[in-house]
Amino acid sequence: MPPAPPGPELVQRFRRDLAVVASGQGRIGIALSGGPDSLALLLLAVAAFPGDVAAATVDHRLRPESAAEAAAAAAACHRLGVPHQILAVTLPRGGSVQARARAARYAALTSWATAEGIAMLLTGHHADDQAETLMMRLLRGSGVAGLAGIRPHIALSESLMLCRPLLGWRRAELAAIVAAAGLQPVADPSNSDERFDRARMRRQLADTAWIDPVALARSAAALAEADDALEILAHDLAAERLATGDGWAQLRPDGVPPALLRRLVARGLRHVAPDAAPRGDQLGSLIEQLRTGATVTLAGVLCSGGESWRFQPEPPRRG
């Protein structure tokens, strides 16, 4: 017997929210962890767009239980008549486990969605996730781009959009949808493991009743709009102030407001080193040094200050 579908008012609300973050039509892919958020997303999508939904579960193989959890997600899809695939990944060596898992997860999901002809990939990020992200980045001193939080949609490839239609929904609402359907979600222990920043922030927000996650999510959305506006201004200003050539970039910084100057410097770095992704504090420190005329390196780029700032590849180190 298939699980009970969400009520019609919830399905209509989901359709409206998806229309806001997604453009166009086509097959819908669900990133299904098996937790309550992604299960609620699956239930809403199947009720709203029957026959147009497929799902995939990424098994990071970091815990002994992960294979059984992926199998449980597959079983839920079978009950709903939704095509499902388990994507097993191997994490590369490196720094943060969560960062490496995220990169591997989205790479696997992008490959799967492209092969399946899926136009939009949906994830179950919600208002509580957005509030946690905003608070964490406030405590790190992030700028506008960081405070924009979890974006409602981003391009994963030329043919695939990542969309998050549940950013206005609360965690408790989604859990209620799953409970009403009679499904048993899996519980990821990392969600309550306070060795991770997000788990600590989740507990703090849960213990602070006067903080409204939906209001924080609205603030993040407003900051995202401001970030988009700044990016448009930076794009136009770059045509005037940032000269580029084969392996070099040169910037005239005089009179450029700091919020735009950071973006122009980042563009110069990325022109020379496309993988450069400096943090906000690194950009701020770099700009302070370039203002004094110093020459420094960042992300494999040799940066020279003065009246104009030049960016070029860092010379090879001597053996």
CA-CA distance, 94 to 99, in Å (whole number)? 9
Per the listing, tokens 């006067």 go with: 210
**Does 36 belong to an annotated binding site?**
yes
Q: Are both 121 and 174 inside the same structural domain?
A: yes
* CB of 313 closer than 8 Å to CB of 276: no
- Chain segment 210-263, per-residue pLDDT in tens: 889 999 999 999 999 999 999 999 999 999 999 999 999 999 999 999 999 999
Q: Are both 175 and 279 inside the same structural domain?
A: no
Q: How many domains does the chain have?
A: 2
Q: Are both 186 and 269 inside the same structural domain?
A: no
**Does 141 belong to an annotated binding site?**
no
CA-CA distance, 98 to 240, in Å (whole number)? 40
Q: Are both 205 and 237 inside the same structural domain?
A: no
Q: Is residue 319 part of a domain?
A: no
Q: What is the pLDDT of residue 246?
A: 95
Residue 172's region, left for phi above 0, alpha for psi from -120 to 50, else beta, is alpha
Could you tell me the residue range of the domain that residue 109 belongs to?
8-211
Q: What is the pLDDT of residue 143?
A: 87
Q: Are both 78 and 36 inside the same structural domain?
A: yes
Q: What is the pLDDT of residue 191?
A: 67
Q: Are both 163 and 33 inside the same structural domain?
A: yes
**Does 34 belong to an annotated binding site?**
yes
Q: Is residue 92 part of a domain?
A: yes
Q: Is residue 216 part of a domain?
A: no
**Does 285 belong to an annotated binding site?**
no
Q: What is the pLDDT of residue 190?
A: 66
CA distances from 40 to 19, 167, 171, 316, 317 (A): 18, 13, 10, 52, 53
Q: Are both 32 and 106 inside the same structural domain?
A: yes
Identify the bridge partners of residue 313 per DSSP, sorted by sequence position. 301
Residue 232: other Cβ atoms inside 10 A: 9
Q: Are both 194 and 248 inside the same structural domain?
A: no
Q: Is residue 95 part of a domain?
A: yes
Q: Are both 111 and 190 inside the same structural domain?
A: yes
Query: pLDDT under 50 in the chain at which residues?
Result: none
Q: Is residue 269 part of a domain?
A: yes
Name the phi and psi angles at 193, rounded to 5.
-85, 110
Q: Which residue among 211, 238, 257 closes a domain?
A: 211
Token digits of residue 122: 């949906």
Q: Is residue 201 part of a domain?
A: yes
Q: Are both 195 and 268 inside the same structural domain?
A: no
**Does 35 belong to an annotated binding site?**
yes
Q: Is residue 225 part of a domain?
A: no
**Does 192 belong to an annotated binding site?**
no
Q: Are both 151 and 254 inside the same structural domain?
A: no
CA distances from 317 to 30, 273, 314 (A): 46, 17, 9
**3-class DSSP string for 46-112:** HHHCCCCEEEEEEECCCCCCHHHHHHHHHHHHHHHCCCEEEEECCCCCCCCHHHHHHHHHHHHHHHH
Q: Are both 197 and 234 inside the same structural domain?
A: no
Predicted model pTM: 0.86
Q: Is residue 2 part of a domain?
A: no
Question: What CATH number is given to the structural domain containing 22?
Answer: 3.40.50.620
